[in-house]
Amino acid sequence: MKISVIIPAFNEAKRILPTTEKIEKFFSKKGMDWQLILVDDGSTDGTSRVVEEGVKHKNNIKIIRHPTNMGKGAAVKSGMLSAEGDYVLFMDADSSTEINEFEKFVPFIEKGIDVIVGSRKVKGAQIKRKQSFLREFFGKGFTLLSNLMLGTDYSDFTCGFKCFKKGIAQKIARLQTINNWSFDSEILFLVRKLNLDYVEIPIKWTNDPASNVRILRDIITSFFGLIEININRFFGKYEQR
């Protein structure tokens, strides 16, 4: 079985190589076949150049470049559509969830579960460094609002550690319409809409103070993203696509 790991990255030149090195070390130690897809989402700090120089002569590492910054959702979508693995995992460039948490996913992959979602909210999850009170407050509010507006019951929409069967990952990617931070909500809405088997798994997570998340901007764009999902559902766009 081959695993494709997607990392969406925007101006991550300072943090990306340690993450790629951890991924290589983890899968090499496990003896697993793997592929790493870095999607450089219009970075201006030489993110893809840093990776190119750091991983020369490694055929299982692929770099996709967006000419301009299109959004994390667009970067994940590009990676999903290019993935070669039997399962596709996307994770954050800052390793807020370390790649070794993937071990918790393996038993569910072996059972053939369609979608495996990392969660910071279910029993057994560990938060090694918390977010600020404001970010945590709005995060809980967004989860409640997403479940209410989308008719779902997930514990955590925005944890950047999710895994899909390849065919399902690509089907969802083709249905995606949202490029900004609310893409997670659209993906998980589609998981329920398509009646896929899914499981939420508790993970260890560490907040990175240098995160690219901007509270006010992302609250506004995420809220309008939820509205867009419902508009798409009302007009049957997910069926048309």
What pLDDT is stored for residue 169 in this prediction?
Answer: 97
Mean pLDDT for the chain?
91
pLDDT grade, residue 57 (50/70/90)?
low
**Structural contact between residues 225 and 181, judged by C-beta atoms closer than 8 angstroms:** yes
Higher pLDDT, 76 or 52: 76
pLDDT digits (tens, 9 = 90+) for 161-195: 999 999 999 999 999 999 988 999 999 999 999 99
| Amino acid making up residue 47 | T
Range of the domain at 201: 2-240
| Cβ(208)–Cβ(98) below 8 Å | no
For residue 1, the number of C-alpha atoms closer than 13 Å in the C-beta half-sphere is 13
- Give every strand in the sheet of 33-41, ordered side by side: 61-66, 33-41, 2-9, 87-91, 161-165, 115-119, 198-202
Query: Would you place residue 133 in the very low, low, confident or very high pLDDT band (cuts 50, 70, 90)?
Result: low
Instruction: Identify the CATH number of the domain in which residue 38 sits.
Output: 3.90.550.10
pLDDT band at 241 (very low <50, low <70, confident <90, very high): low
Report residue 39's pLDDT band, with 50, 70 and 90 as the boundaries: very high
Q: How far apart are CA 187 and CA 189, in angstroms?
A: 5
Beta-bridged to residue 201, according to DSSP, are: 118
**196, 116 Cβ separation under 8 angstroms:** no
Is there a contact between 40 and 3 (Cβ–Cβ < 8 Å)? no
In which band, very low, low, confident or very high, does the pLDDT at 215 lie, cut at 50, 70 and 90?
low
How many domains is the chain partitioned into structurally?
Answer: 1
Residue 58 has pLDDT above 90, yes or no: no
| Residue 241 CB neighbour total at 10 angstroms | 10
Q: Which of 25, 27, 28, 193 is nearest to 105 (CA)?
A: 27
Q: Are 15 and 38 in contact (CB under 8 A)?
A: no
Quick one: pLDDT at residue 113? Answer: 98
pLDDT tens digit string along 59-98? 899 999 999 999 999 999 999 999 999 999 999 999 999 9
SS3 147: helix
The rounded distance, in Å, linking the Cα atoms of 26 and 35 is 12
| Residue corresponding to tokens 């069926």 | 239
